[in-house]
Every structure is written in structure tokens, then in C-alpha cells.
């Protein structure tokens, strides 16, 4: 019961952290981490015993799914360079340099265990990045880079980590079999994600209840992750692929399901993020408490690894942006600002902690895992340096660099897509036979409303249309009202279909398309129902 009470307490603290973060203009995940660390100083505070192997399967699927839903296949087609450079290249380079530093500075760690340490601190956490960087009006081009990097870098890090741990347990070094294993895991993960996407599509077609359809969106990410891990593929990639596939199969008529699912996932993402970072805070404090005074001897090596992590990210990001000269056209000052921001936003989080806690206690021969305590302390140090410090100071850095986005580009893209949806709606109305059954006044009213995409019926009581009118006029009113609603339904379906088509086009920002689609869905939800 204590464990359950602690989890409920962390969920309640998440709500408080959100309110406090809004007032102080600070990211609530960082506040949750700090609050959880402070709570452990309370006398008699219970310890939360969660199997480390459950942390990734419980938290990664819903949080990755929520983040991946904001993207599309076309985005990855455009950003393949980012995926290769940052999601794979930077993870490998960071692992190599951290492993080298750890092997030199930590006595008795061994090369495989040093590689395991490098892999666990290499990937920035997509949950941390999205929760912190998304609140500071970061330019869209930088936010897109961080989102693309965060969705796939865990896969590379986890494969390297698992191979390094297996080699450590067996008392041997890593070999070249890691590369084909990683590539094969990607292939299997993509296949599983696509198949699960089609399965989810079939279920949502067969199930008519909106609540059940929303439940499907919660079950599918866990199913994809577990199935992929069971066949030794990447659960991370499987979840991302299934999210992209479910978005690709979206239908224009599913307005109510989209609205309910969006509200549901907003709550799930908020509570799961808060709980995850609360657990991070509890575990950091427990590691520090467990090590006691001996932790001071581990600090120098931990600081050195933190420095390596920060410097490697800065230099690699500089190299990456130097290859994208078309983005800057000789503006080296602008490129330097972007390098600083992207480097500063390399926040470690849930994956780093989970991999650290997943380290075995003993090897196959019964001896202790080499330098396990030092690895745990170092991982926690990287967490604090790359998450807490940037999380609290990133807004100030954005102001100093004058790099905050005013949203003008996004607003213009939204306006252009809105016009495109409006034209599709007007064309559907002109081609519909229902329009011919409306009076000229009703046709003019319909055209006027769709020109501004303002679709609410005016001048009528939605609960009692035609109230107070004579019977013959009430019947005519009801018939005209039914025709108006039917015509608006046709127009709205055409507008939504156009937005869904646009979302799949190269160059379209999926978040802009989702914003316009949500507005159309909400207008459908408030339309009066016909009797």
C-alpha cells in the first residue's frame, strides 16, 4: 500500500508542478525531479522498489507514441541526414569518447563496461527535450532537429548497451556482430510497427464505440514494444513506426475520436512524464544515499565524463550544421547560435536512468559487475548536468541569444492551410445536390460562414430549434436546419480530407496540419444534431 500511495503522491505532485511551472515559467519535469529528490529527505519517507527492467517498457511506449504522433513519414524522408548524423552518429561517437575517458579514469572498469556507460549516457531523452524545449518558443527548424533525433537515438544506445553488458557478463570483448544485429533489429522493428498499424486500423474499423477506439491507441504502443523486444528487435522503433502508421491511416470522419484521443493523450503524457521524472529524482537520491561518503571519491571521474558528453555534442553538432550550409548562407553567427542551443538541449533523462539501474549486480562467474557504483554515480551526474541545469536556464539562454521564435512562420503556414481547406469545403458544397435544396438566403449564409471557417449556427437555440414558432413554420425550420447541418457535414469532411492529404506532403509541418484538423474537428463536435 505504501508503494501505491507514493505513486499517487507523485501524480498529485505532477499536477502541482505543472501549476508552479506555469507561474515560474519553468519546465515541470525538472521541477518534479527536484521535488522528488527533496522529498526523500523527509524522515521515514518510503523507498519505491520498481524492477529496473520495467521502467523502459512501462514509460517509453506511451511517451514515445505521444511524441511520434506529432510527426509523419514525410518528415523523416526530409530529415534522413539528421537521423544518420544525430540519432545514430552522435550516439556512437559519444559512446566511443565516453568509454575511452572511463577506461582511462576508472580503475578496473574494463572496455565492455566502459562502453555500457558510454551507451547509457549517449542518447538525449525525447521526453525531456519535448517537455523543456517545447515551452521556450524555440525556432521550428531546431525543434524539428531535436524531435527527429530523440525518436530514434534510444534504439542505437540500447542495442550498444545490451551488447556491452552481455560481453561484460561473459568476460569477452565486443565484436563486429553488433552492426548487423542493430540493422536486423531495425528491419524487424519496422515490420512489426507496420503490421501493428494495420491491425490497429482493422480494429478501429470494426469497433464503433469511441471509448474503445481510444483504448486501442493506448494498448497498441505497449503491444508493439513488447512484441519487438521479444524477437530482439528495437521496441523504440516499433512504437515510433506504429504511431506514424496510425496517423497515416487517419480518416476525415473520425472527428469525435480524434478530439477524445487528443484530450486523453494530453493527460496520459502529462502524468506519465511527471511520474517518470519523479522516479528519476527518487532514484538519484537513493543512489547518492547508498554511496554515502564514498561518493566524493567518484566525483572527479563523473565530472570528466560530463565534460566529455557536453564537448562531444557541441563539436558534433557544429560539424553537422556545417554540412547544412544552405540553411545559413554564410550566416556563421546564426549557425553558432543554433549550435549552442542544440548542444544545450541535449538533455538526458528516463533512458539513461533506466539503463543505469538495469546494470546486473554480478557477472556470470559470480564476481561483482566492474565499477558498478561508479557507473551509477556517473550516470546520475550526467543526468543532473544535462537536464537540471539546461532545464532551468534554457529560457534565459534563448532570450540572451535573441533566438526565440515569434511564431510568424507557423501562423502563415496555418493560414495557408486553412485557405486550402476552405477551398475544398466550398468546392464540395458546389458539387453537392443538397445545396440546390437550400434557399438563396441559406446558400449565402453557408458561403459566408465557410469563407471564414466559422461554422456555428447563429440565432437558434441548439436544444430547441424553432421554439415558439407555429407548427407549419417549425416543420419548415427543422427541414431547413437538417439540410444546413447535412451540407456543413459534407463541407467539413471535404476540408478534413484536404488537411489529411496535405499532412502527407513533403514540406508540410505535421503540427500545423494537426492544429487545423483539430479546429475542424471541434467545429464538427459543436454542430447541432439532427433529429
Angle between helices 471-503 and 408-431 (to 10 degrees): 130
Q: What is the pLDDT along the chain (531 residues), one digit of tens a residue?
A: 677 888 888 888 888 888 888 887 777 878 887 887 787 677 777 776 667 677 778 888 888 888 888 888 887 777 788 888 888 899 999 999 999 999 999 988 888 899 999 999 998 877 677 777 666 778 878 887 887 787 778 778 888 888 888 888 877 776 667 678 778 888 999 999 999 999 988 888 888 777 888 888 889 999 999 999 898 888 888 998 999 999 888 888 788 888 888 888 888 888 887 887 787 777 766 666 666 656 778 889 999 999 999 999 999 999 998 887 777 777 788 888 889 999 988 888 777 877 887 788 788 777 888 888 888 889 888 988 898 888 888 888 888 888 777 667 778 888 888 888 888 887 887 777 666 666 666 666 666 655 555 333 233 343 444 444 344 434 444 445 566 677 777 888 888 899 999 888 887 888 888 888 888 888 777 665 554
Residue 511 CA to residue 136 CA, distance in Å, equals 17
Q: Are 465 and 484 in contact (CB under 8 A)?
A: no
Q: Are 130 and 392 in contact (CB under 8 A)?
A: no
Instruction: Say what the alpha-carbon torsion angle 506, 510, 514, 516 is, to the nearest 10 degrees.
Output: -50
Output b/e per residue, 147-160; b: 16+ Cβ within 10 A: bbbbbbbbbbbbbb
Residue 521 CA to residue 34 CA, distance in Å, equals 39
Name the pTM for this structure: 0.79
Q: Which residues pair with 368 in a beta bridge?
A: 362
Residue 521 CA to residue 37 CA, distance in Å, equals 42
R_g over Cα of the chain: 26
What structural domains and CATH numbers belong to the chain? 1-48+76-175+257-401 (1.20.1530), 408-462+474-526 (no CATH)
Q: Where are the alpha helices (H) located in 171-209, listed in sequence order?
A: 178-206
Q: Where are the alpha helices (H) located in 207-330, listed in sequence order?
A: 210-230, 235-248, 255-291, 295-322
Please identify which residue in the block is written with the cell numbers 543526468. 383
Q: Where are the alpha helices (H) located in 25-175, listed in sequence order?
A: 28-39, 52-68, 73-78, 80-82, 91-105, 111-121, 126-133, 140-170
Instruction: Name the nearest CA neighbour of 30 among 393, 285, 397.
Output: 393
Q: What CA–CA distances, in Å, run from 212 to 63, 260, 267?
A: 20, 11, 17
Amino acid at each position: 500500500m505504501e508503494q501505491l500511495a507514493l505513486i499517487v503522491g507523485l501524480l498529485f505532485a505532477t499536477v502541482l508542478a505543472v501549476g508552479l511551472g506555469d507561474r515560474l515559467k519553468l519546465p515541470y519535469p525538472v521541477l518534479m525531479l527536484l521535488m522528488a529528490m527533496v522529498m526523500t529527505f523527509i524522515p521515514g519517507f518510503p523507498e519505491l522498489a520498481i524492477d529496473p527492467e520495467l521502467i523502459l517498457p512501462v514509460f517509453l511506449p506511451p511517451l514515445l507514441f505521444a511524441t511520434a504522433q506529432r510527426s509523419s513519414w514525410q518528415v523523416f524522408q526530409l530529415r534522413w541526414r539528421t537521423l544518420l548524423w544525430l540519432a545514430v552518429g552522435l550516439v556512437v561517437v559519444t559512446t566511443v569518447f565516453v568509454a575511452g575517458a572511463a577506461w582511462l579514469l576508472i580503475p578496473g572498469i574494463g572496455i565492455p563496461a566502459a562502453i555500457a556507460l558510454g551507451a547509457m549516457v549517449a542518447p538525449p531523452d525525447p521526453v525531456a527535450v519535448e517537455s523543456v524545449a517545447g515551452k521556450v518558443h524555440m525556432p521550428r527548424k531546431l525543434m524539428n532537429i531535436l524531435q527527429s533525433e530523440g525518436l530514434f537515438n534510444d534504439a542505437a544506445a540500447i542495442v550498444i548497451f545490451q551488447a556491452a553488458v552481455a560481453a561484460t557478463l561473459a568476460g569477452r570483448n565486443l565484436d563486429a556482430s553488433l552492426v548487423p544485429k542493430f540493422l536486423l533489429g531495425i528491419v524487424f522493428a519496422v515490420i512489426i510497427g507496420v503490421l501493428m498499424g494495420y491491425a490497429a486500423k482493422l480494429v478501429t474499423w470494426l469497433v464503433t464505440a469511441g471509448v474503445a477506439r481510444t483504448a486501442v491507441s493506448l494498448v497498441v504502443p505497449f503491444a508493439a514494444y513488447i512484441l519487438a523486444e521479444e524477437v530482439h528487435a528495437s521496441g523504440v522503433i516499433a512504437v515510433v513506426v506504429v504511431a506514424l502508421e496510425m496517423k497515416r491511416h487517419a480518416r476525415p470522419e473520425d472527428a469525435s475520436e480524434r478530439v477524445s484521443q487528443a484530450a486523453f493523450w494530453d493527460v496520459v503524457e502529462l502524468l506519465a512524464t511527471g511520474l517518470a521524472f519523479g522516479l528519476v529524482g527518487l532514484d538519484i537520491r537513493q543512489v547518492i544515499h547508498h554511496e554515502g561518503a564514498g561518493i566524493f571519491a567518484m566525483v572527479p571521474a563523473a565530472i570528466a565524463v560530463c565534460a566529455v558528453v557536453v564537448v562531444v555534442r557541441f563539436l558534433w553538432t557544429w560539424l553537422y550544421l556545417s554540412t547544412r550550409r544552405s540553411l545559413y548562407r554564410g550566416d556563421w553567427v546564426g549557425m553558432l547560435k543554433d549550435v549552442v542551443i542544440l548542444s544545450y538541449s541535449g538533455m538526458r533523462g528516463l533512458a539513461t536512468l533506466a539503463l543505469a539501474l538495469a546494470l546486473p549486480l554480478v557477472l556470470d562467474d559470480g564476481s561483482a559487475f566492474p565499477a558498478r557504483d561508479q557507473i551509477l554515480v556517473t550516470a546520475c551526474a550526467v543526468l543532473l548536468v544535462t537536464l537540471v541545469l539546461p532545464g532551468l536556464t534554457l529560457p534565459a539562454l534563448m532570450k540572451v541569444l535573441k533566438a526565440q521564435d515569434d511564431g510568424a512562420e507557423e501562423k502563415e503556414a496555418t493560414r495557408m492551410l486553412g485557405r486550402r481547406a476552405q477551398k475544398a469545403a466550398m468546392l464540395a458544397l458546389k458539387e453537392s445536390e443538397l445545396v440546390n435544396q437550400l434557399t438563396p438566403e441559406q446558400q449565402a449564409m453557408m458561403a459566408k460562414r465557410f469563407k471564414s471557417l466559422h461554422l456555428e449556427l447563429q440565432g437558434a437555440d441548439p436544444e430547441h430549434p424553432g421554439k415558439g414558432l407555429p407548427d407549419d413554420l417549425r416543420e419548415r425550420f427543422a427541414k431547413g436546419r437538417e439540410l444546413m447541418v447535412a451540407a456543413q457535414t459534407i463541407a467539413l469532411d471535404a476540408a478534413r480530407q484536404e488537411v489529411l492529404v496535405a499532412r502527407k506532403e513533403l514540406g508540410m509541418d505535421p503540427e500545423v496540419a494537426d492544429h487545423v484538423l483539430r479546429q475542424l474537428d471541434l467545429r464538427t463536435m459543436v454542430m447541432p444534431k439532427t433529429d
